[in-house]
Structure 1
């Protein structure tokens, strides 16, 4: 009897061990070394840009390391770039997706359709409609590695691209693709994108300043499945008792339009960066540069600039001179410039020297 019990115990131990191995398989597979397919950098970028048609469901986190002292109108952007953002996402295609931002106090769902987005605040019972606009402040869905990776790769030249091996991201083989911006004004030292070897979907994105160290932005899928989510999960219908609000972006654009007394004259080139053509953008808002090197210039009303000026001037490393006040938070620069017709806000992934040069040019002086 003792032998029988011992034999049975061994068999059950073997079964238990087998079950343990089966349960551990997902994590073991995720820990396996990635296979580098040797795909050239230019081909890998093309695959990433073509991945807009790849449907998926996923769970992602984005961590921002940028401490931004800003006024109340930009508080949401500051929080987004300085905190950890946890997101669940369902993506059926361009303009047909849902991203739920998960916080300790609840969830906020962003649903995209052909005309823009609905943002549903579960706790407040409020639905905010934001139409597609020429210019928009960044939101949590913009930090998804799939979206962020494609945007940062979209305008990189072949000479700025290189490969750097492979890794396992969300249990999938991901090939490393690096962008080193060529512009002299660039404050971003490099962008590292891990691209799914099978589908081209960007799975992780890290943005570094010139000083290296920890990434200013680190966005990664923790889980991802390349399956098409049901339409009913993505679609949104405003609940009958919901409070309906207007998105903030149209309000800020309207403020920029009336921000200066005589109108802000924007040149074709600023700080060595060419102005972009953006259909529907106000004449007093200009975007310069490409890819990871962008500079945005807009007029700012006195009421909106007062709080922001105080916040910027109070930052430890703020530069205050005859041009105005400017700061750098990692690779992101912010400046309030004092122009002849009012206050101008300059912001973007450019150096403080580039901000000063742009302010000088706007004031009519030599760069």
Structure 2
């Protein structure tokens, strides 16, 4: 009887998922009222709206088939699959995002002290501490969070208005970001904003010459009210298995300490190097906003697995510089040379930009 009840529960969830995913196409067909709001003012409203409270459903759909290891499967799935999320947002440090699927449900509860990830089916609660550098999680793909981040470093010259559309039953005004860097593989980012609250309701990321977005995240249903604190808070049930999440910053720092001792240049593919808290000195991060490139030296003994994953793609390009491949607007390259370290290059840059960066690395082939 318990198994039958569980099956009925998830059958109902599957039906709900189907209805919610289909609903936006019906609502979007309704006409939307545009408003004469300058792009700079609309962008400012988005950046000022970080503390807006809300709750509702959102869906994210990505088409990036990333060649990653089993340890990174969960993060990669966010960019390659369809993810339905139920969200309660009181603020950046106090929110809850449940990923709802036919096979089960996983909730991410954020509080000022860190996060709880609750796997309902497995009965496991995993505690993670706040980190300035962490793998992508479902809250990062909410339209509100992603739209605000992608607009935060855009210049006024890169942002224009893009009309209006209906999103989650609301009139949303469009902002279009067209990256200025020649190295960028992102043609544009469209952010659709609720003008009253400054909340991004939908974000679409397009690669060069792409008719469909490589990533599309949008609200399906939205209530612009601060949800109750008890809905967001989480305490592990008495019978739960409590785990501790890996220290991402510690692992990255340890990997940085083991990385070959090389001095990365101040610029790669025309993109200036920048620094981030939590990023070790052995890792180079270049660019800004939508256009970012990371360069990481790795020992040759660790390069074989990545080379095998990259060359398995029919789109892979292999030459004297190394092997590179694109998954939508995301590029990935392994640079190898005899007698020295290998380098991994990845980011939202073109394959030509990856090749240019490879030529500028210390000791790389010319």
> So what's the TM-score if we normalise by structure 2?
0.87
Matches of 1:366 and 1:341 in 2, distance apart?
11
Matches of 1:249 and 1:309 in 2, distance apart?
24
User: Is residue 2:143 matched to residue 1:138?
Assistant: no
Which residue among 49, 56, 68 is the counterpart of 2:47?
49
Match of 1:33 in 2: 31
Moved more, 274-283 or 244-253: 244-253
CA contact (8 A) 1:186 1:349 kept: yes
User: Is residue 2:357 matched to residue 1:346?
Assistant: no
Match of 2:15 in 1: none
Sort the Cα spacing of 1:255 and 1:336 in 2 relative to 1 into closer, same or farther, 3 A.
Answer: farther
User: Is residue 2:295 matched to residue 1:320?
Assistant: no
Match of 1:4 in 2: none
Larger radius of gyration: 1
Give per-residue Cα distances to partners, 1:205-244, cap 9 Å, x unaligned: 0000111211000101000000111111111223343230
CA contact (8 A) 1:259 1:302 kept: no
Q: Secondary structure at the match of 1:146?
A: helix
Match of 2:307 in 1: 309
Moved more, 251-260 or 217-226: 251-260
1:105: how far off? Answer: 1.2
1:111: how far off? Answer: 1.1
Give per-residue Cα distances to partners, 1:238-259, cap 9 Å, x unaligned: 3343230323734651453144
Sort the Cα spacing of 1:60 and 1:301 in 2 relative to 1 into closer, same or farther, 3 A.
Answer: farther
CA contact (8 A) 2:127 2:242 kept: no
Sort the Cα spacing of 1:332 and 1:299 in 2 relative to 1 into closer, same or farther, 3 A.
Answer: same
Match of 2:248 in 1: 249
1:47: how far off? Answer: 0.5
Match of 1:355 in 2: 354
Matches of 2:347 and 2:98 in 1, distance apart?
27
1:103: how far off? Answer: 1.6
Matches of 1:290 and 1:227 in 2, distance apart?
33
CA contact (8 A) 1:296 1:347 kept: yes
Matches of 1:161 and 1:248 in 2, distance apart?
37
> So what's the TM-score if we normalise by structure 1?
0.87
Matches of 1:302 and 1:133 in 2, distance apart?
29
Matches of 1:275 and 1:330 in 2, distance apart?
24
1:59: how far off? Answer: 0.2
Q: Where in structure 2 are there 5+ consecutive unaligned residues?
A: 1-24
Q: Where in structure 1 are there 5+ consecutive unaligned residues?
A: 1-26
User: Is residue 2:333 matched to residue 1:335?
Assistant: yes
